Amino acid sequence: MTEPQRRRRRPAVSCNLCRRRKIRCNREAPCSNCLRSRNATCVYEVLSPPPSPRRSIPASLAPAPPQQCPSPVSIAGASTGTGTGTGTSPAGTVSAPRVTSSPAQSDNTTAPPSSLEFEAMRFRIAQLEEQLSAPTRIPPAGPTGKPGLTTETMLESPMLGSYYLHQDVDSPGHACSQSVTHKGRMFGRSHWLHSLLPVRDMFDSVEIQMQAESSSIMSTLERCKHLARVIKLRRAPSWPSPPATELPAREVCDRLIDCYLQTSESLYRILHIPSFIRAYEAIWDSPDTVPNPAFLVQLKLVLAIGAPVYDDTYSLRTPAVHWIYEAQTFLSEPEFKSRITTLSLQINILLLIARQTANIGGTLVWISAGELLRTAMYMGLHKDPPSVPATSTLTREMRRRLWNTVLEIVLQTSKDSGAPPLISMDDFDAKPPGNFDDDQLTEEGAVPRPEGVFTQTSVARALRGTFPARLAVVKYLNDLSSTAPYQKALGLDKELRASHKIMMQALQRPSPQTQSQPLHVGTVLANFNVASFFMILHAPFFSLAYREPAYAFSRMSLLEYSLKIWQIVHPASSLVAHPGASPAPTPDIWKRLATCGHRTFIVATKQTCVSLVMELRAQLEDGESLGTAPFRADLLVVLHEILDWSLSAVKAGETNIKGYLAVSLMIAHTECIKAGLTKDEIPKSLVKMTADFLITCVPLLEDMLAREEGENPSGREQPSAATPAEEMDWADIWMMGSPHNFGGVDPISWAMDGPTGDAISW
């Protein structure tokens, strides 16, 4: 009886030569032993079909099954790039299939080349050419059709905390970050934190040096943090804060209303100005009459929004915070159906804008904007007024204006918070506001003015024309399904440039009879608004542009719009004004608005600083590699202007000195590189400069606290201890922090966010 042939339990994974010599094979193609012995071929045998490769060969090129292949063929790994015997291939390659050999075949026998081998080689070459020609390809989709993501812990230390960077799983080293998670909050690519990632190495080195050498700097930082907390508590009233009937003097109120009309109302149409002025004057004409509580809240919000541009020092910051608290208390009362009115919607809109100007819950405004959007939809504002029966011209136009403003707030807060807008162009059919002046709306049969004539609604109408392009940019950056193809970013840039050009042409048409000062401020605000979208569109790619020439357009565009934004924020800059640019009509008001006003100015200016620092660092590195120094000294001058601007914000009452400190460190780091200091010398030099910067800030905060205690002695009690060092957070380096919260700190929030309870905001 013949004994049955004994078969191996496991398939062979070594090449034939290593199996004969009984030596270890590293299973490469070709293996290391064959390379050392200069073997012409490195042949692998497989006794079972390997797992399906990630990219299969067309059926016409597939090998025949073993039982149909009487003369087996072994494909040489050196020629075809075959993987290991386990069916896997080296990183970055796709395995070509191998044909099963007969067990009876001799180990040192290789079949002559066949047409199948040549076809496999051609297929492999085509694959390699495709990979080389697609450096920015879309990452492979998962089972749900969405791109795969991997989570990488960026920073983790007792002081820094943990920051998680979500990138494409395909190439985490070169792909754009999709989102950043910090303190339980996820920020999309439009958030400013993404622009800070390329320079985080600088903050890492400084912190390590500070911990190693200088405990005095940490104690000074703790002192600044403690002073800032006491000042914030002094400014904040008790909660709840029922609306009071007291108002500032008539002259102060008149000035604040004028400041509001020149700035915010010129861009966001919320009020019917003649009706508002009549109700405002009735309060002063009849002092014994109790005003409507809702209108009184609306009036105080208007005063709060105008307060930043009242003077250079934002002296009315504390009253503005009190007015905002009163409005929040008013809207928090359990009155629901009675609040679905136009007046209540106006109060909601004004409250969100006031919170941004006074920096109360900066990034959290996006959450409140969602409630505002749903309230507006519940009132039917997303439907065009002609579908609503029996509407007058005033009602129809006010509904269009309010819906237009709601869209702007939703889009702006989504951009600043790094969150999806949760609205599309298919969700509404309301038309833009008509080209009316406010006094026309009360006339019977009013006809809108021609397109070439400026009205009080011209800026809002022109900005609405760019809304589809800006909405597409935010969706592209923050949507969960975004796969970050660079070609789509270039297409969005083209659409945004076209709509921006049309907007500026419409706003720059000569119209001397109605070209008023407030409209000019609105024009500059609209230009700044659109320019900030160009910045966030190209910011995710500007760090890649220094390694990959394919992204050079983003590098150029980011530098271009960074300088334009700084020209808008600081018209007195040493930069040469670009063609078509015009200075602010009221330099004092514009300077105050940029320094003390809307947080969007602060966010965009800090992003400008990072982009300029990265550009200068890249120029210095290129100069070292090329033997030249293409260093733009004018950019360094702009950085010093931004530094002075940051210090002026602290002098105007800003309690968070981290923004000023971060700008100082980045400028100092750039100058150290320019001076030729080594990597070991730079952190020591920066630590010394940090001490000098802090010496400048401590007296400012102490004087600020003294003023607050003198003006508001009945404020909240100060905290009993300074902020511990463990709470210092460099990723919050420019976060202005939520200076106030409406009520006590929730224990769960304390456990998640630490004792500070601060939200991530500028």
Cα end-to-end distance, the chain, whole Å: 88
The answer on pLDDT for 75 being more than 90 is: no
585: pLDDT strictly greater than 70: no
Answer positive or negative: Cα dihedral of 737, 594, 543, 484: positive
Q: What percent of the chain has pLDDT over 90?
A: 25
Looking at the chain, the whole-number percentage of residues with pLDDT higher than 70 is 68
The mean-pLDDT minimum among 157-166, 195-204, 277-286, 688-697 falls in: 157-166
Quote the CA–CA distance of 666 and 638 in Å, as a whole number. 13
For residues 271 and 688, which has the higher predicted lDDT (pLDDT)? 271
- pLDDT at site 287: 82
Residue 513 confidence (pLDDT) above 50: no
Confidence at 46, pLDDT banded by 50, 70, 90: low
Q: Which of 266, 343, 275 is nearest to 306 (CA)?
A: 266
Q: DSSP character for 169?
A: S
In this prediction, residue 22 carries a pLDDT of 81
Dump pLDDT digits (tens) for 699-731.
999 998 988 876 665 555 544 443 333 344 444
Residues 6+ apart with CB under 8 A from 59: none
Answer with the residue of higher pLDDT: 686 or 255: 255
Question: In whole angstroms, what is the distance from residue 367 CA to residue 401 CA?
Answer: 22
pLDDT > 60? residue 297? yes
pLDDT for the residue 709 = 78
Q: What is the per-residue pLDDT for 2?
A: 54
The pLDDT-based confidence of 80 (bands split at 50, 70, 90) is very low
Q: What letter represents residue 672's amino acid?
A: C
The residue that leads in pLDDT, 127 or 223, is 223
* Low-confidence winner among 89-98, 449-458, 477-486, 599-608 (lowest mean pLDDT): 89-98
Q: Does position 363 have pLDDT exceeding 90, yes or no?
A: no
Q: Does 489 score more than 70 pLDDT?
A: yes
- Indicate the Cα dihedral angle 596, 600, 601, 605, nearest 10°: 130
User: Measuring CA to CA, how many Å separate 429 from each of 76, 367, 385, 406, 528?
Assistant: 64, 24, 10, 14, 27
H/E/C letters for each residue in 112-152?
A: CCCHHHHHHHHHHHHHHHHHHCCCCCCCCECCCCCECEEEE
pLDDT of residue 89: 38
pLDDT average, residue stretch 458-470: 95
Asked if 740 and 236 touch (Cβ cutoff 8 Å), the reply is yes
CB-CB neighbours of 75 under 10 Å: 27
pLDDT band at 5 (very low <50, low <70, confident <90, very high): low
- At 723 the pLDDT is 39
Average pLDDT on 407-433 reads: 92
Give the pLDDT confidence score for residue 471 in this predicted structure. 96
> Does the structure show a pLDDT above 50 at 140?
no
Encoding tokens for residue 382? 């997303």
Of residues 517 and 163, more confidently modeled: 163
**Torsion from C-alpha of 570, 413, 362, 152, nearest 10 degrees:** -100
Give the 3-state secondary structure of 682-723: HHHHHHHHHHHHHHHHHHHHHHHHHHHHHHCCCCCCCCCCCC
| Both tokens assigned to 159 | 């002081």
Separation of alpha carbons 18 and 613, rounded Å: 56
Tell me the pLDDT band of 759, cut-offs 50, 70 and 90.
very low
**Mean pLDDT in residue range 252-258:** 95
Residue 445 is predicted with a pLDDT of 79
pLDDT for 279: 94
Does residue 163 have a pLDDT over 70? no
What does the pLDDT read at residue 734? Answer: 43
pLDDT at 746: 35
Of the listed ranges 110-114, 217-221, 645-649, the one predicted with least confidence: 110-114
Q: Which of 102-106, 185-189, 569-573, 616-620 shows the lowest mean pLDDT across its residues?
A: 102-106
Per the structure block, which two tokens stand in for 621?
């590195």
Q: What are phi and psi of 648, to 5 degrees?
A: -65, -30
Query: Predicted confidence band at 515 (pLDDT cuts at 50, 70, 90)?
Result: very low
pLDDT band at 86 (very low <50, low <70, confident <90, very high): very low
pLDDT digit string, tens, across residues 317-345: 999 999 999 999 999 888 777 778 999 99
The 3-state secondary structure of 530-586, one letter per residue: HHHHHHHHHHHHCCHHHCCHHHHHHHHHHHHHHHHHHHHHCCCCCCCCCCCCCCCCC
Question: With 80 as the cut, is the pLDDT of residue 561 above it?
Answer: yes
Are the CB atoms for 491 and 548 separated by under 8 Å? Answer: no
CA angle 499, 503, 509 (to 5 degrees): 145
Question: What pLDDT shows up at residue 386?
Answer: 72
Which pair of structure tokens corresponds to residue 177? Answer: 């970050």
pLDDT of amino acid 214: 58
For residues 161 and 182, give the distance between their C-alpha atoms in angstroms, rounded to a whole number. Answer: 8
Q: Mean pLDDT score of the chain, rounded to an integer?
A: 74
Q: Which residue ranges make up each domain of the chain?
A: 7-105, 202-239+546-762
Task: Tell me which amino acid residue 286 is.
Answer: S
Residue 720: Cβ within 10 Å count:
5
Q: With 80 as the cut, is the pLDDT of residue 663 above it?
A: yes
Position 641 pLDDT exceeds 80: yes
